[in-house]
């Protein structure tokens, strides 16, 4: 009985040690294309442009009137995806110089509202998360 237990234990130990050498996941390393790096750099510059827009005093004042903390809006800009940053920056380009702040503030308000509803943040007390 003792030798049978030893044989079973040694087989289990051998299988365990051999199993440790097997890779659990294979990894794939590929080259990052120049277009992806360029898009990322462009997105960072557009994100910085949106941040500088939100740093303006008149924009901060308008955000306060709408009940949005400017620091929270800055944090939301950091959390935007590249596509969303491109969309907001495109709206900034279409605005006349010194003109329609309400349009961009409405866009930011909608983005904040959607992220509240999705449960990523809690800025507005009147929203309920779907989570």
pTM of the predicted model as reported, rounded to 2 decimal places: 0.46
What is residue 92's predicted lDDT score, i.e. its pLDDT?
Answer: 72
Residue 25 has pLDDT above 70, yes or no: no
Angstrom distance (rounded) from CA 54 to CA 88: 12
Q: What is the pLDDT of residues 44-99, one digit of tens each?
A: 888 888 888 888 888 788 878 888 888 888 888 888 788 788 887 777 767 655 55
What is residue 9's predicted lDDT score, i.e. its pLDDT?
Answer: 86
Residue 11 has pLDDT above 80, yes or no: yes
């Amino acid at each position: 009985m003792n030798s049978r237990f030893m044989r079973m234990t040694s087989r289990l130990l051998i299988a365990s040690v051999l199993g440790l050498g097997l890779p659990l996941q294979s990894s794939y390393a590929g080259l990052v294309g120049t277009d992806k790096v360029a898009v990322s750099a462009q997105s960072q510059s557009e994100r910085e442009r949106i941040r500088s827009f939100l740093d303006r005093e008149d924009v901060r004042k308008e955000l306060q009137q709408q009940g949005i903390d400017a620091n929270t809006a800055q944090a939301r800009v950091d959390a935007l995806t590249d596509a969303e940053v491109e969309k907001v920056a495109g709206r900034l380009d279409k605005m006349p110089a010194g003109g329609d702040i309400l349009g961009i503030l409405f866009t930011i308000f909608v983005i904040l509202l959607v992220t509240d509803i999705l449960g990523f943040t809690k800025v507005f007390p009147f929203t309920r998360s779907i989570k």
